[in-house]
Structure 1
Amino acid sequence: MNYSARKALVMGVDLVSYGGKGKTPRYAMVLLRDGEVLLENPDVSLHRLIRLLWEYKPDILAIDNVFELGGSERKLVKFFNMLPPTVKVIQVTRWQDEFVDVKEAAMRAGIGYIQGKPTPLKTAYMAALIASRGYGVEVKLYEEKTKIIVSRTASIGPGGMSQNRYKRRLRGIVLSLTRKIKEALDKHGLDYDLTFRKSGGGLESSVFTVYAPREKLYGIVKPLRTSDVRVEIRPIYKPKISFLNREESSTVQRYLIVGVDPGISTGLAILDIDGIPLEIISGRGLDRVDIVNRILSYGIPVVIATDVNPAPDTVKKLASMFNAVLYVPPQSLSSDEKRQLVEEYASRYHWLRIEDSHQRDALAAAIRAYHNVESKLRQVGSYLSKIGLEVSIDNIKAAVIKGKSIA
C-alpha cells in the first residue's frame, strides 16, 4: 500500500504516559494533510484519542511503536476493534526487516536531522510526516476466529441393517445442519471456510472456520446438543501481528507457485517461479489465515493451484485474496497421475520427503500449474537474454503468467 500521495489525512500519535493503576494511557497527537497541521494536542486520553479518530476518520494512524497503543497483543486487539474500519495503522520505525528509531526514520524519509530527544508532540508530528511520504509498514492484526463444529453425539458400533439405517440418518442430519449454518453465514455476509468428511448418505462431520469473533455469531448460529448430533461453537483467540511492507517500485519480490489441498487436514506446497520446491507441509486445523501467513513468509504467489475440478472454495478465495491466477486442471487428477507427477519431480530433488497424501496432492497441483506455464517462462528467459535488457526476469515472468505480453 503506497501512501506517498500527500493528500492523505494522517494522524500521528506518541505515548506521553502509560498511566498508573486505574488510569488510561495518554498521548500526543497531530493531524496532518499535505504537510499542513490541522490539529494538534500534546496530551489526550486514550478515550479522547478514539473519539478524535472517529470524528476525523484519517486514512492513516502513524506511530513509532505499535505496542504503545496497547502494551500487549491482547490489548492491541481491543484497540484495533475500536478503530474506524478504514484507518490503516502504520509503524514508521520499521523499514523492511529492521527497526530504526524515529530520528533515523525521519532522516531516511528526507525530513532531515533532528537534534536532541524530540518531545512526544514532535514525535507524533514526525510520525505523521514520515507516513504521509509513503514510508513505514502497515500493521495487520489477525484477531479472533470462531470454529463451528457439527458432528454426531452418539457413538456407533458395528451392527446390522437397522444400525446402517441409523448411521445414514445421522449423516443426513449433519448434512442438513451444515447446509442451514452455511445459509445463515452467507445471508449475513460472514467470511468462512468449510471443511467436511463425506460418507454414505450425508456427512460424518463438518467444521466452519469463521473469520469473526464469537460475539458476531450471536443470533446467527446457536449451539445445539441432542441425543443424535451436536453443534459446538468455539471462539479461538489467536492474535498475530504482522508487518506488511508498503509497496515500493524498487523492491525485488520472490514470486511463487502454490498448490493447496484444503480439508480437515490441509496440504500446502510452495514452489518458486522456476518450479523449485521451497516448502511442502500439511497439518490439521490450518485455516486460511495460517496459509496466507505461511505463503507470505516466502514471497508473493502468482499462481494458486488445485488438483481437483471444480476448485474448492478455499482455493478460490486464496487466489482472489492474492489477485493470483487460479489454476484448475481440465479434470480432477487421478491418484496415479498425482503419484507419477510427484515421483518424477522428487527424483530431481533427492532431499524432498512427501509424508502424506495431502502433501502429495498439494505438490501435484503446484507441479501441474508450473508445467502449464513452463514453456512461456522459457520463452521469457530466451527473449530477455537476446535483447540484453537489465530488468528483473522474475518480474517479467510474473507479468507474463498474469497474461501480459513482453513484445
Structure 2
Amino acid sequence: MPDKVIFGVDIARGSSRAKEKPAYAVVVLKDAMAQHHHMVSLHKVLRMAWKERPQFIAIDNIYELAPDRKSLVSMLSKLPHETKLVQVTGGEHPEPLVKLAKEHGITFDRFDPGAEALACAQLVQMGTGHEVSAFEDKTLIKVSRGRSPGRGGWSQNRYRRKVHGFVRQRAREIEDYLNEQSKLHGFTYTSNVAERFGGYSKAEFIVNAPRSAVQISSGKYGDVQVSASSIERDALIFK
C-alpha cells in the first residue's frame, strides 16, 4: 500500500501581505521519496494538491499562505476535502521550527526554503503539529432554481411551475441519498424547503457530517443549481 502523500511548504520569495504574489518551495513526500518544486505560486500549490490529494500540507506559519483569516478560509475552501493544513510549530503558541526540528533529530539550513519545506513535511510525518480548522464537521446543501423564471404571463407561469418541479425532484433525490447514508453511517440532518406552485423554489439541508463524507457535487443540473459546502466556524481553531 503506498504511503500517504504529504506536502511541505515554505515561502521562498515575497510575502502574503505584499502586492506582488509570493512564491513557495514545495516538497512532496510520496512513496519514501521527496520531490522538490521551486518558486511555485499559490495557485499552482492548489493545483498540485488536487492532482496529488495529499493527506497533509505542512507549514511553519499558516499566514505565509494568506495575509488574514478571511483569505486563509478562502484558500482552505479551495483544497480537496480530505486535505488537512497543519502548522507544524504548534497552535496558538508556536515554537521555533529550528528548535522543534532539532528535538526530533532533524537538521536543516534555515536559509534554504526547500530544506525548511522538507523539515515541515518530515515533522508532520512524525505526527507533530496542529491541524488548522476553519470549518465545522457539518455540510450545507442548497438546491435552488438555476435561473430566475421571469415575471408574469401564462408561459412564464408554466415554466416557473416546471422549474419548481425540477427543484423538488432534485431535493428528494438528495434526501433519499441522505436517508441511505444516515442508515449506513449514523449521521443526521435537518431540512428546510420553500414550497411554491408546482414544487419547491429552494431546499436546504444541514448534514451533521464533514464535507468529505457527503458525496454530493456542486453544479448546475439543467434548471437546478446545487451547492454543497462546509459550514464555516466563527473562528479558526487548532486541533
TM score, norm. by length of structure 2: 0.59
Larger RCO: 1 or 2 (CA < 8 Å, sep 6+): 2
Counterparts of residues 20-99 of structure 1 (less than 5 Å): 20-21=18-19, 23-33=20-30, 36-37=33-34, 39-94=35-90, 98-99=93-94
> Do the aligned residues in 1 keep the contact of 2:134 with 2:233 (CA within 8 Å)?
no
Which of the numbers 15, 22, 27 marks the counterpart of 1:18?
15
- 1:119 deviates by 2.4
Q: What residue is the counterpart of 1:102 in the other structure?
A: 97
Would you say 1:132 and 2:125 are equivalent positions? yes
Whole-angstrom CA distance in 2 between matches of 1:210 and 1:67: 30
> Do the aligned residues in 2 keep the contact of 1:147 with 1:209 (CA within 8 Å)?
yes
- 1:135 deviates by 1.1
Question: Residue type matched to 1:67 in 2?
Answer: Y
- 1:194 deviates by 3.2
Which of the numbers 111, 134, 153 marks the counterpart of 1:118?
111
- 1:42 deviates by 2.6
Deviations 1:192-235 (A, max 9, x none): 74389xxxxxxxxxx966267xx9597368xxxxxxxxxxxxxx
The number of residue pairs the alignment matches comes to 179
Whole-angstrom CA distance in 1 between matches of 2:29 and 2:97: 17
- 1:240 deviates by 2.9
Deviations 1:224-279 (A, max 9, x none): xxxxxxxxxxxx865532211xxxxxxxxxxxxxxxxxxxxxxxxxxxxxxxxxxx
Counterparts of residues 270-285 of structure 1 (less than 5 Å): none
Counterparts of residues 199-218 of structure 1 (less than 5 Å): 210=206, 216=218
> Do the aligned residues in 2 keep the contact of 1:63 with 1:91 (CA within 8 Å)?
yes
Task: State the Cα RMSD in Å.
Answer: 3.9
- 1:72 deviates by 1.8
Q: Which blocks of at least 5 consecutive residues in structure 1 are unaligned?
A: 1-5, 149-178, 197-206, 222-235, 245-407
- 1:12 deviates by 0.3
Q: Which blocks of at least 5 consecutive residues in structure 2 are unaligned?
A: 143-167, 182-186, 193-202, 212-216
Counterparts of residues 307-326 of structure 1 (less than 5 Å): none
> Do the aligned residues in 1 keep the contact of 2:11 with 2:64 (CA within 8 Å)?
yes
Whole-angstrom CA distance in 1 between matches of 2:106 and 2:31: 14
Which of the numbers 163, 172, 175 marks the counterpart of 1:186?
175
Larger Cα Rg: Structure 1 or Structure 2?
1
TM score, norm. by length of structure 1: 0.37
Whole-angstrom CA distance in 1 between matches of 2:82 and 2:237: 18
Whole-angstrom CA distance in 1 between matches of 2:169 and 2:82: 32
Question: Residue type matched to 1:186 in 2?
Answer: E
> Do the aligned residues in 2 keep the contact of 1:59 with 1:86 (CA within 8 Å)?
yes
Whole-angstrom CA distance in 1 between matches of 2:97 and 2:15: 19
